[in-house]
A and B are shown apart, each in its own frame.
Chain A
Amino acid sequence: MSFPEMDWGPVWLTMQLAGVTVVVLLLVGTPLAWWLAFTTSRFRTLVEAVVALPIVLPPTVLGFYLLVALGPHGLVGGPWKQLTGAPLSFTFTGLVIASTFYSLPFVVQPLHGSFESVGKKPLEAAWTLGASRFDAFLTVASPMAIRGFLSAVVLGFAHTLGEFGVVLMVGGNIPGVTKVLSIAIYDHVESLEYTQAHFLSVFLLAFSFLILTIVYAINRRLPVHVS
């Protein structure tokens, strides 16, 4: 099989989207997971349910609300346009926002689990030894929750790679901006370009399989730190 002219643009774009989304999700998801693990607030159950919503909702629900919210007259898109002068729909930033919601549970849930299993005791020990709260989190709790972080990063990344419905609804299929892998494959299939569709699909299949295998392998070997 000889490869046709391959357009690597969607591959690179998808990696960028997944990468940026994971970073944003770690920044947002870590404090959220921490709060969920240790709070005694009665709102905890509600927040947990909200975080898990993207798992059960069809992407069209998220896509529909994002289309309305990100638009130039939308709840988010309106102020954004006032602030930056540019609209949010059909942009890379818009896709990052969409993916952050879409992949949120895949980052928060593993972190939440691992924070819970680490427990508060090691932290309290660090505090009594004079470590600041942030320092204790960074040098004590985080390394102990390494499995959780690893799962969070990989699942967040992989789930964003697999995103399709939401991007189809709010992306606009712009090469280099919103034409991600899944959309490019869809496009090729619809245009009867099966060779290109196969090529990208095999790539995605192999890549996803590879990173999941690596994660499971590492997870087995990592030391277990449970208090």
Chain B
Amino acid sequence: MVANVSGFLLILFFQMFSAVAVAEEVRVAVATNFLATAKEIITHFEQDTAHVVVVSSGSSGKLYVQIKNGAPFDVFFSADVDRPALLEEEGFAVRGSRFTYAVGRLTLWSADSDLIDKNGKTVLSDGTFEHLAIANPKTAPYGTAAQRTLQALGLWGHVKDRLVQGENIGQTFQFVFSTNAELGFVALSQVLDGKINGAGSRWDVAEGLHNPLRQQAVLLVNGQGNDAARAFLSYVKGPKALNVIQRFGYGVE
């Protein structure tokens, strides 16, 4: 009887323990360009593991500042290499946890299906558009890539007065989607997202025209003891996640 009771308690104890371990929550900060992709990965992850993921998104610059100032995130998916590396150096991220989860592709996109032809350079140099949207080059890596591309094409001076800047790539996309800007440099993943499904017209920028958009993720000090955080990071490296990432137009390393 006593053995039975203690056995029962033991089982109860282990069940409670494992229940606690299973139901862990991971708070993920995601650069806007990766948000739709991340959400799809998270759906799979939550089904496969029963962990719960809470997502916040913004420009990599903003998320970086928030993390440095104590934002309670466990994992950070940046749109660049620099910010995760800085966090690692500054002691906000766990050393050795940093890895490239995707290589972004920049595209010149318009909601108008006739505006951009196969050679996007023509519309940039000869087009009569009023506004060309890019993400803020100072805070958003896709903005920097857009600026580099325009400089490489020798058209930066030509379009400079017609640029409008989104605070992050999401807002940049919004400017073009709402036709307030006729065209803009956005992430290919946004155009391939289910809501757009490749509609409009676009010119995928050759990767040689700008800095590579290697996007790195890092485990933050806050999530060091969080099993769900580590589980999520390894899940992102797994075949299911890689499949989703490639479907959204990203390269993988």
**B-contacting residues of A (Cβ < 8 Å)?**
67-68, 70-73, 77, 86-87, 89-90, 168-170, 172-174, 186-187, 189-192
B65–A172 CB distance below 8 A: no
**Contact, CB under 8 Å: B130 / A87:** yes
Chain A residues with Cβ under 8 A from B171's Cβ? Answer: 169
The stretch among B7-15, B47-55, B91-99, B175-183 that forms the contact with chain A is B175-183
In the complex, whether B115 has a CB less than 8 A from a CB of chain A is: no
* Contact residue among A173, A187, A192 (Cβ-Cβ distance under 8 Å from B164): A173
> A189 with B65: in contact, given A87-B131, A173-B165, A174-B163 (CB under 8 Å)?
yes
Q: A87-B131, A168-B167, A190-B62 given as contacts; is B136 within 8 A of A173 (CB)?
A: yes
| Known contacts A174-B163, A190-B65, A191-B139; 7 further A-B pairs (Cβ under 8 A) | A67-B180, A89-B181, A90-B131, A90-B164, A190-B59, A191-B138, A192-B65
- Tell me which residues from 191 to 238 in chain B have a Cβ below 8 Å from any Cβ of chain A: none
Give min CB distance, B144 to chain A, whole Å.
Answer: 12
* Contact size range, B: 20 to 34
Q: Which residues of A contact B174 (CB under 8 A)?
A: 67
In contact, A172 and B178 (Cβ under 8 angstroms): no
Chain B residue with minimal CB distance to A188?
A: B138
CB of B61 closer than 8 Å to a CB of A: yes
Q: How far is the CA of A189 from the CA of B131 in the complex (A)?
A: 26
A171 and chain B: residue at smallest CB distance: B164
Q: Say yes or no: B179 contacts A187, CB within 8 Å.
A: no
Q: Which chain A residues border B79 with CB–CB below 8 Å?
A: none
**Smallest CB–CB gap between A191 and chain B, Å?**
5
Known contacts A68-B178, A190-B65; decide if A172 and B133 are in contact (CB<8 Å).
yes
In the bound complex, how far is the Cα of B179 from the Cα of A72, in angstroms? 7
* B131-A172 in contact (CB<8A): yes
CB neighbours of A187 from chain B (8 A): 136, 138-139
**Are A90 and B181 neighbours in the complex by a CB distance under 8 Å?**
yes
List, sorted by A's number, 29 A–B pairs whose CB atoms are closer than 8 Å: A67-B174, A67-B180, A68-B178, A70-B180, A71-B180, A73-B179, A86-B130, A87-B130, A89-B180, A89-B181, A90-B164, A90-B180, A169-B171, A170-B180, A172-B133, A172-B165, A172-B166, A172-B181, A173-B165, A173-B166, A173-B167, A174-B164, A187-B136, A187-B138, A187-B139, A190-B61, A190-B136, A191-B61, A191-B139
